[in-house]
A and B are shown apart, each in its own frame.
Chain A
Amino acid sequence: MLRFILHRLLVMIPTLIVVSIVIFIVINLPPGDYLSNQIAELRATGQEAGLAKAEFLRREYALDRPLPEQYLVWIGLWPGPNGFNGLLQGDLGWSFEFNKPVAEVVGETLWFTVILNVAAVLFVYLVSFPLGALAAIRANSWVDYLAATIGYIGLATPNFLLALILLYYGQKWLGLPIGGLVDAQYENQPMSWAKLGSILQHLIVPTIVIGLSGTAAMVRRLRANLLDELGKPYVVTAKAKGVPPLRRLTRYPLRMALNPFVSDIGSLLPSLVSGSVLISVVLSLPTIGPALLEALRAQDIFLSGFILMFISLLVLVGMLISDIALALLDPRIRLGKARKAQS
């Protein structure tokens, strides 16, 4: 098992390298870059002073060199003007748009993004699991229809609309806070229980909004899987052994139906991350979503490059987690290699 995890971790390295190359190429595809745009603008308006600074930044971040070299400098495999100083060394680069180091721009929002997405994934799983299982066991009963209805609403309603509705009624009936990450009084204060409570309160609406469509899809999938498994001969065997109904369900078909459920973590994460960009804008949440949008619009290459890398890493970690969970759950995957060797 340890070897399996180690192997998967090693495989992640070349994947990340390929991803970084693709990202770098993609963000450099539009003609020009932030600095050359700025320099042109400064020239046009005759601000020669700013020009010197722009030229300085251009050299400082090796933007005057050929693209492959730029890439290596960005990663930190090639000496830039100040020696090796790239992602590998922990220097995320300079955000031209915000005129700050990228690390400062992203800062806390990074962690909030992770927290929000993990919360959304947990929401998806915690809600869809019992709902999907119930819908399958009581197929064509009111539970099934209710789950289907909620699912279709979740799939069909535009997320931002849902967000606005939930915000309004959440505030009106439950006194939930509107927008932002934390109440104003706690901002710039050290972490405390009260602050944590405030953050959690603020998380409720975004989590539901971001997770709902994923939940809807997941409920349908679990229902279909479980319905298939319920008719399998090994369930009959369990019945013939005298296994009581609840134990029969949880021990056999439910575990089998869990497989696709778990393997979805990997594909769930990216859709959540990209889906949360718009929500973050609507709810004015300090996630990296809005920053990414702004960075891409302004061709702020270091900022957008880093954010894309971060999301890719998130996805890879999600896939790693789902692979490990699958191997733990299913001996056929865990022992698959050994079987091939035997036959």
Chain B
Amino acid sequence: MLKVEGLTIRFRNAPVDRPVVDGVGFSVGAGQSVALVGESGSGKTLTCRSILDILPRGAEVAGGSILFGGGPEAVDLLRLPRSGLRDIRGSRISMIFQEPMSALSPLHSIGDQTMEVLRLHGHCNRRSARDQCLAMFERVGFPDPQRAFRSYPFQLSGGLRQRAMIAMAMVARPQLLIADEPTTALDVTLQAQVLALIKELQAETGMAVLLVTHDLGVVANMADAVVVMRAGRVMESGCCADVLGRPLHGYTRKLMAAAPSIPEMTCAIPASGAEDAILEFHDVAKTYERGSTRVRALDGIDLSVRRGETLAIVGESGSGKTTMARLAMLAERPDPGGRLLFRPSAGQPPLDLLSAAGPELTAYRRRAQMVFQDPYASLSPRMSVGEIIAEPLAIHGVCGRGEGRERVRALMAQVGLDPAWACRYPHAFSGGQRQRIGIARALALDPQLLICDEPTSALDVSVQAQVLDLLESIKQRLGLSLMFISHDLAVVARLADRVAVMRAGRVMEQASPAVLFSAPLHPYTRALIAASPEPDVSRPIDVATVALGAGAPDLWPEPFRPTPDGAPPPLVEAAPGHFVRGHFARRAA
């Protein structure tokens, strides 16, 4: 069906004349799915884009061939005239992109954009094109196809947007679908459902799928064959079960080792009896007003971070986890009524953060520090690394200049950066190194509490593992308490002492990771766990569980359903240290 041979792509005007894709070859059979795997910069996206000749400006194919079609009718896409290639684009080969919001035109309705594919390739008249689109919208899971037809991309949620993108790619019944990180921008439960949808459509139409991804878990769930790429070269390729099960190449092994997965845990760690909470949330709520509408971002949060532990807060986008971080940093104030308590050391009376002011508040700001999600946006490009790390010292007047320089060097060494780099600027560093800078800055003031808001979600897996190791060792060494916010259960399983699962501003379930991952009670927790793709072909995603738990609360099984008037059930301690939101008989304490 598709046979790529010796594909070489280089950038014009590149300072170093080295191809970014170098002699890549693979083939995709009819009805087969092949995954191109690699970390950022491996050339996987350029490879798949060259098939449709949609390379970014400046990149050009320097050699090789891309044969499309079976047997004698095969054509070399790279040598096809433009008009011939246009006939293939969208009708015989189509593509799904990573960011549906920017990949769809904001000015045209979904129906308009989808219908365009059919009209362009002259398949049918307007009327039957419309009917086909509506049928496709229904197939990809739009509850109301007519309405979807009229909707604009910005009116849809992220999941529906990607479904619209899939509908657009599928409507002309292509023989090959190229999916470039189709689910990277989605929450795990949505990812599971979208992947399942692509698989179903593939089974129905018998098309081939070329999947580009960085996630080995996705590969294991989707692909028949794998091509592992690194720095523009193919490292290893072969049948999915072979490559993932018995990786031969060192790089594949490294990727496999770094791939996050929820470990099997059975041993229950006994919950520590003494309640020494460094930070406590009591009945905290936060409401945002946007025009005339009010959004309840957090509702009735009762949580505490114990001294020396890592409390992980897990949830999908919109669950309110980042709002919690912002409240804990006092970057925003909760609705009146809630209380935030901070206990500087064990046994001392707690400090009420919401009524604190002046020196007390300044002292708290020294003790609690934050590590941000995006290491690219959270460091000022106009300050050198040394200045960035020393800034908190200067603000709080901790030490003088010379002493500060010593401290910066020590901090950089602590997070694994060469202290000699202090005068460089952030753009000179990779994502993982930037996150280390962010951590060093957070540590500058000797905090007791570190709030990490998705610190690794912008990083490649192998780098993510290193940053997590660093956080863990620093926490051990300095005796920090961590509030760790993440959407990724596998990351949480590795790091956390206790996990709180959040959905729509409420805690759904809370337990130690061992308990939570081996015996989850709440259907939403189960859906989250089931949806995390594992790099193991023998453990596919259980889509039914995902669909149930990620669906509307009214469809959950009995004890978890909200009461008829819409109020959620209370958070109940189902076992020692294991809280779940459901109508259970309260255990005797």
Chain A residues packing against B (C-beta within 8 Å): 231-234, 236-244, 251-252, 255-256, 329-332, 335, 338-343
Contacts and interface: CB of A to CB of B under 8 A. Distances in A.
Interface string B473-492: 00000000000000000000
Contacts of A233: 97, 99, 102-103
Given A233-B102, A241-B117, A332 B154 contact: yes
Contacts of B290: 340, 343
Given A232-B102, A241-B116, 5 more contacts: A233-B102, A237-B105, A241-B94, A242-B117, A341-B292
Nearest to B91: A242
Interface string B74-111: 00000000000011111100110101001111111100
Nearest to A341: B293
A237 B165 CA distance: 10
Nearest to A232: B102
A236 B103 contact: yes
Most chain B CB within a 10 A radius of its CB, from A255, A256, A341, A343: A343
The 9 closest A-B pairs by CB, nearest first: A242-B89, A242-B90, A241-B90, A233-B102, A233-B103, A240-B95, A234-B105, A242-B86, A237-B103
A341 B290 CA distance: 8
A232 B56 CA distance: 10
A237 B52 CA distance: 11
A239 B120 CA distance: 12
A185 to B, nearest CB: 52
Contact of B291 (A236, A237, A243, A340): A340
B107 A331 contact: yes
A308 B97 CA distance: 54
Contacts of A241: 89-90, 94, 116-117, 120, 168
A240 B117 CA distance: 10
Interface in B42-67: 52, 54, 57
A256 B104 CA distance: 12
Interface residues of B, number: 34
A141 to B, nearest CB: 15
B104 to A, nearest CB: 6
B152 A331 contact: yes
A249 to B, nearest CB: 13
A343 B117 CA distance: 31
Given A252-B105, A332-B106, A339-B155, A239 B52 contact: yes
B295 interface: yes
Nearest to B152: A331
A330 B102 CA distance: 16
A282 B95 CA distance: 61
Most chain B CB within a 10 A radius of its CB, from A234, A238, A335, A340: A234
Contacts of A329: 107
Contacts of A256: 105-107
17 contacts: A236-B103, A237-B105, A239-B52, A240-B54, A241-B116, A241-B117, A241-B168, A242-B87, A242-B91, A255-B107, A256-B106, A330-B107, A331-B152, A332-B106, A340-B290, A342-B155, A343-B295
Interface in B424-452: none
